[in-house]
Structure 1
Amino acid sequence: MPEAYVLVVDDEPDIRQLVSEILADEGYEVAVAENAAMARQFRESRTPDLVLLDIWMPDEDGVTLLSDWMTAGNVSFPVIMMSGHATIETAVEATRLGAYDFLEKPLSLAKLLLTVERAMEHARLKQENTRLLRRVEPVVEPIGRSVAMERLREQARRLAQHDAGLLLVGEPGSGKEVLARYIHAQSSRRNGPFIDVGTGLLAHGSASIALFGKEDDGVVSRGLLEQAYGGVLFLDEVADMDDGAQSRLLSVLETQSFIRVGGTRAIPVDFRLIASTRKPLADEMRAGRFRPELFYLLSGLTLKTPALREHSEDVPELLNYYVDYFVSREKLPFRKFPVPVQNYLRHYAWCGNLRELKNLVQRLLILGSGTEITLDEVKAVLGEQPAMGDARSRVPDYYEMPIKEARDSFEKGYLEYHLDKFGGSVARLSNAIGLERTHLYRKLNALGIKFRDKKLDL
């Protein structure tokens, strides 16, 4: 794989050939342009990592070209100016406009390579700083120690090693975007961008410009497809796309290119597509609402995010995580969920999944007072909705599990409830439930119940 893509712009054939051969020997991928017009075409079709730009050219000088690029914005690459006839004023002007450095002709090959290397390192550090500044939240892995979540993380890490398109399916609020970001962070594209595209944008009137960018009188605005170059494009709730948006996406995936609005040249793409849906795409396809060709392209690799009720044993850990999250990020007062409240919420329906749980924690920290959250507070915030939801959700979660997992789930909740009831006393718990103490200790350890963190009365 080449280190970087370098564009050499010079009207002298000997210079172009010499510089391109030297850089190619060093492992760079090189393109050459003999004038400013050709340089514009190269730059518009593919963004270079570095440009070596001659100042004096017959059709348009390099300083004017550099000025136009800087005025248009989105210049993420360093530009090194070259000339054998430039004055100090010209070199100063080029630097003022944003040129990284200036090389005099005849070129010193050692200085050329050193300047290119330093410019590439400078650009890399600048991009890294930009990524760090834009990273509002660190990437977190899907939370939970249940069998379902352990399996999900394992599958995600395995799928992250591939570059094929991926479809995430699951109920609203079940953590599909968190999972997509986790997969991106585990992949070889982790240093590339993660571009999140909601279907609200795809249904908007300016969707084409937002996705594909625009060309207008030589001024280029790059869309989300170009911004995702080298990284991941995440399409949220892809089933909600209208037929026109589906058609445009299908064309991009089939040709691996697109044309900007107002443009004429095909722009190559390089991103991994991760899409999500709450609706079964096969049903949408059979109903005529989703294109079959796009369905088969998207559904090759599929990963399901479990609903929260399917791993309700993770609710206590999630509650603690979001308490810490809002305390550290929003400076809300710390409040604790006692074990009886945690157990109550473990058996709540969670129709809104992780999103509902996160909102609940935020409201309790904002509206409540005192160090401990009471069950009455929780019920008041949840409103009239019963803890077990509709008739279907009133069936205990463990009814849907294999018998061993169901037994463990029941026993863990049962023992945690009574251990809290007896103030953490294993002795009193043993007497109350009729289980010999040695066997009870083994059971608590096997189920991961941290009874030693409580005050024991032996």
Structure 2
Amino acid sequence: MLPADLDDPSRSPQEAAARQVAAEAVTHAATMPDHWPRASILVVDDEPGMRHFLEKALAPRVREVMGAGSAEEAEQLLRSHRYDLVLLDIALPGRNGIDLLKDMRAQGITAEVVLITAFADLETAIEALRAGAGDMLLKPFRLTQVLGAVRHGLERAQLRRENWVLRRNLTQRTPPADGLVGQSIVIKGLQAALRRVATVDSTVLLTGESGTGKELAALALHRLSAHAAAPFVPVNCATTAPAQLEAELFGHGGQGPGREGLFVMAHGGTLFLDEVGELPAALQGTLLRVLEDRRVRAPGSERSVPVDVRIVAATNRPLADDVRDGRFRADLYYRLQVVELRLPPLRAHKEDIPDLVAHFIDTLAPRLGVAPIEVTADEMRFLQQYDWPGNVRELRNLLERSLIVGALNVSALYQSLPKPALRRSEPVAGTASASTEPAPLDLHTLEKRHILAVLESVGGDKTEAAQRLGISRRTLERRVAEWAADGSLPASPIDGH
């Protein structure tokens, strides 16, 4: 039931409408599912009754709601706060709402805007859309209409940020592999640590050699956390020029349209700073200030806006050494190293290689549009003997090339990397491994078996076999001639194609 004083004839129509909204808020609060715990909303309306009641209706549903009674007051709040959505009355004293909206867009403020008006016509609606409004509410309105407009506006804001992040990722980086795969004690321990750390918002520093999957670990932290519904925004600090990196991270202001940076785009989600040790000294200080204040101010802008972002950083070299040598700020290092997780190199968990091989073949073959390849037991033994200086990334790249040529292309390992990377572990006499484990194959034996297996699979066609092996036909013919000369070439369908 609505309060009796709503029918009081001494009250203005605006006050009556505001009290109507407030009364509906009471009855709707328990039944409406709309709830946006990370959203921040600004209500701009010169009618105090309507403004206050809108604030009260939205306050239980969002993280923060603030009010302004004029365009000038709203501008002051927009300079010091970040809002996901603005409920903006058109008929304001002084500058109207559409003029304020145009100024917001010119300054690079991308918050969704829902305009409120008591006198809507087609010309006003067209001007509002051109200025960048996402929706328009006509007074008097019901609370369900307000909540519907807010819900749709916040959904548009989320989709816009996610689309921007996806487009950036597609144009600037190669998509990562698909997960932390393995059943070894080392990987299971890492997975358990990620699950524990994901439940808190502390800053995490991931360390480990290149190719060990630090971005995968960061993505796992994001997906296991309360930030999973918001964007995961990766940035490589080593591959971006310092001047560009500053604009990428913090945005830019000054003359002309501004632009929000990755901290704002990742609001509510996770910002992954890969190769953080490569940050220039000036940006190290800026990053430290953001971590301490949780506010971002774009270069050339007077706006300092709060950000709610989980920071995960990664490095492939010991930052403690950089701190000792004066290349990295000690205070920033301790800010980033609240929790430190080290990712193991592939040579430390070679028992996971069969699972990784199966995983990459299963995921890459459909993407490439090719048939899966078979990996023989001898080939798998070779893969488990190899030390993988490029770690999981090197294994993935090998399998992608092999899928393209149609056979496991271990010849690439022979040609591109030094022989010491292949270790032949000699079993100790009298140990269990000496009696139960098969002796590792030497490089030349495995190479011969592999080449002959590929030749047999293509019916002896040397041109096709050379292409699949990634070597020249002349090299293939020389190898076959050597084996024939020493009598070690078995009978097989090898011809002179």
Is residue 52 from structure 1 mapped to residue 87 from structure 2 by the alignment?
Answer: yes
Give the number of the structure whose alpha-carbon radius of gyration is greater. Answer: 2
Deviations 1:91-134 (A, max 9, x none): 354356553443334x34xx1x2122212332454466564893
Offset of residue 68 of structure 1: 4.3
Q: What corresponds to 1:250 in structure 2? A: 288
Whole-Å Cα distance in 2 between the matches of residues 30 and 309 of structure 1? 53
Deviations 1:290-314 (A, max 9, x none): 2111121122211111100001011
Deviates more, 1:169-178 or 1:232-241: 232-241
Q: What corresponds to 2:124 in structure 1? A: 90
Is residue 34 from structure 1 mapped to residue 66 from structure 2 by the alignment?
Answer: no
Offset of residue 178 of structure 1: 0.7
Which residue identity does 1:4 align to in structure 2?
A
CA contact (8 A) 1:9 1:52 kept: yes
CA contact (8 A) 1:54 1:83 kept: yes
Counterpart among 141, 146, 153 of residue 116 in structure 1: 146
C-alpha distance 352-217 of structure 1, shift in aligned 2 (>3 A): same
Offset of residue 382 of structure 1: 3.6
Which residue identity does 1:66 align to in structure 2?
L
SS of corresponding position for 1:258: strand
Q: What corresponds to 1:104 in structure 2? A: 138
CA contact (8 A) 2:207 2:214 kept: yes
Q: What corresponds to 2:391 in structure 1? A: 353
SS of corresponding position for 1:285: helix
TM-score (norm 2): 0.71
Is residue 385 from structure 1 mapped to residue 420 from structure 2 by the alignment?
Answer: no
CA contact (8 A) 1:55 1:86 kept: no
Correspondences of 1:236-385 after superposition (within 5 Å)? 236-366=274-404, 368-369=405-406, 372-373=407-408, 377-383=409-415, 385=417
Offset of residue 325 of structure 1: 2.4
Which residue identity does 1:120 align to in structure 2?
V
Offset of residue 34 of structure 1: 2.1
C-alpha distance 379-87 of structure 1, shift in aligned 2 (>3 A): closer
Is residue 187 from structure 1 mapped to residue 225 from structure 2 by the alignment?
Answer: yes
Whole-Å Cα distance in 2 between the matches of residues 351 and 298 of structure 1? 27
Offset of residue 17 of structure 1: 2.6
Q: What corresponds to 1:13 in structure 2? A: 48
> What is the identity percentage for the equivalent residue pairs of Structure 1 and Structure 2?
36
Q: What corresponds to 1:215 in structure 2? A: 253
Counterpart among 115, 128, 139 of residue 81 in structure 1: 115
Deviations 1:343-396 (A, max 9, x none): 101110100001111111122222x34xx53xxx41344416356517xx6668
Q: What corresponds to 1:443 in structure 2? A: none
Whole-Å Cα distance in 2 between the matches of residues 57 and 412 of structure 1? 85
SS of corresponding position for 1:383: helix
Whole-Å Cα distance in 2 between the matches of residues 176 and 31 of structure 1? 40
C-alpha distance 316-127 of structure 1, shift in aligned 2 (>3 A): farther
SS of corresponding position for 1:197: strand
CA contact (8 A) 1:81 1:99 kept: yes
CA contact (8 A) 1:203 1:242 kept: no
C-alpha distance 327-128 of structure 1, shift in aligned 2 (>3 A): farther
Aligned length, in residue pairs: 397
Deviates more, 1:203-212 or 1:283-292: 203-212
C-alpha distance 309-387 of structure 1, shift in aligned 2 (>3 A): farther
SS of corresponding position for 2:410: helix
Whole-Å Cα distance in 2 between the matches of residues 259 and 128 of structure 1? 21
Which residue identity does 2:338 align to in structure 1?
G
Deviates more, 1:274-283 or 1:116-125: 116-125
Which residue identity does 2:252 align to in structure 1?
K
C-alpha distance 139-62 of structure 1, shift in aligned 2 (>3 A): farther
Question: Structure 2: which 5+ runs fail to align?
Answer: 1-35, 442-497
C-alpha distance 101-297 of structure 1, shift in aligned 2 (>3 A): closer
CA contact (8 A) 2:134 2:153 kept: no
CA contact (8 A) 1:388 1:394 kept: no
SS of corresponding position for 1:122: helix
Offset of residue 333 of structure 1: 3.7
SS of corresponding position for 2:258: strand
CA contact (8 A) 1:202 1:245 kept: no
Q: What corresponds to 2:458 in structure 1? A: none
C-alpha distance 415-201 of structure 1, shift in aligned 2 (>3 A): closer
Whole-Å Cα distance in 2 between the matches of residues 147 and 3 of structure 1? 37
SS of corresponding position for 1:221: coil
SS of corresponding position for 1:32: strand
Whole-Å Cα distance in 2 between the matches of residues 158 and 40 of structure 1? 42
CA contact (8 A) 2:86 2:111 kept: no
Is residue 144 from structure 1 mapped to residue 182 from structure 2 by the alignment?
Answer: yes
Whole-Å Cα distance in 2 between the matches of residues 92 and 132 of structure 1? 26
> What RMSD, in angstroms, separates the aligned Cα atoms of the two structures?
3.3
Deviates more, 1:204-213 or 1:130-139: 130-139
TM-score (norm 1): 0.77
